Amino acid sequence: MNRLSLSRFAWISIAAALLTMGLKYVAYLLTDSVGLLSDALESGVNLVGALMALAMLTIAARPADEDHAYGHSKAEYFSSGVEGTLILIAAISIGVAAIGRLIDPKPLERIGLGLAVSVVAALVNLAVGLILLRAAKRYHSITLKANAYHLMTDVWTSAGVLFGVAAVGLTDLESIDPIVALIVAGNISWSGVRIVRDSVSGLMDKALPAHEHNAICKALALHKQAGVEYHALLTRQSGAHRFVSLHVLVPGEWTVQHGHQLLERIEADIRCALPNVTVFTHLESLDDPLSWDDIGMEQIKNSSRLDSDLPKYPRQQL
């Protein structure tokens, strides 16, 4: 699938954010509830996040070029990182507003009508969040995943706020509303931290998760049974794309053609095991002791040691 077509999901998120932000702000004006105001503020963050997602999905869809040989897919991590940061900023704003309302409580008005408007907004977020979550899983997009989780968090946030406003209407305890808003701020903060953490992990080239690593090892197991060894298995993910590299060790008497055919089969098996993966293989001889020196891929240490083992030639005078 053309990655650029994923932008249509960002447009859906933008439309949902505009609609729910308007609905929640109307609910706030009707009730004067700081909880509903916090909910409206988070929808504003949803809008900014959706706009950022649209921009980054457009950039990530660009093909590789001379300056970006591995493509632009890491742009998606910037989108999710910015969205997570905005969530944290919204949480701080909500907390400040809630503390102010605790100090100076005010009665809520037209609670029933305000709740009805907010319920409609929550249902819109729920529907769009589920759509984005399915799309994120299908197309392996961290941007859509972050946006979906944010919307689903918004649904739970709305549920908490609705509970707080309803509780005020039933008990006349005005302090319940800002207390619920503080709880909402805490929940939003955790969501923001998790999204930022996932973004940083992607930018830092964190290895593929355990179940994907196991899938690679399973694909290699049949070849290993045939007397072929491998090591220096390295993995990382860049947006929706995965990268796998490994060294394959074969008997020294094999021909280049025989080794090449094996590597083609191994790369094909890994591509069958994982979607959107680029595989780099390096052929080595089982009979050469140097083939085992990089088994741990301690690159700095090994390169220094191997350099010392190489024959020294006098530098030519120019």
Is pTM, for the whole model, over 0.75? no
CB of 142 closer than 8 Å to CB of 199: yes
Closest Cα to residue 126, out of 154, 147, 145, 146?
Answer: 154
Q: Is residue 10's pLDDT more than 80?
A: yes
Count the Cβ atoms, other than its own, within 10 Å of residue 16. Answer: 26
Instruction: Choose among 83, 91, 94, 89: nearest CA to 13.
Output: 83
Pick the closest to residue 108 from 35, 40, 180 (CA basis): 35
Q: Of 199, 241, 239, 191, nearest to 87 (Cα)?
A: 191
Per-residue pLDDT, 108 = 59
Q: Please say if the pLDDT value at position 239 is more than 70.
A: yes
> pLDDT digits over 46-91, tens only?
788 888 888 888 888 888 788 887 778 788 888 888 878 877 887 7
Burial pattern 252-268, b for ≥16 Cβ within 10 A else e, equals: eebeeeebeebbeebbe
Q: CA–CA separation, 41 vs 39, rounded Å?
A: 5
Asked whether the predicted pLDDT for residue 303 surpasses 50, the reply is no
Residue 242 burial (10 A CB sphere; 0-12, 13-18, 19+):
buried
Q: Which residues contact 311 (CB under 8 A, 6 or more apart)?
A: none
* Conformational region of residue 140, where left means phi above 0, alpha means psi within -120 to 50, and beta covers everything else: left
Give residue 99's pLDDT.
85
pLDDT at 311 over 50: no
Q: Could you give the CA distance from residue 88 to residue 190 in angstroms, rounded to a whole number? A: 8
Q: What domains does the chain contain, in order, with CATH numbers?
A: 3-203 (1.20.1510.10), 210-309 (3.30.70.1350)
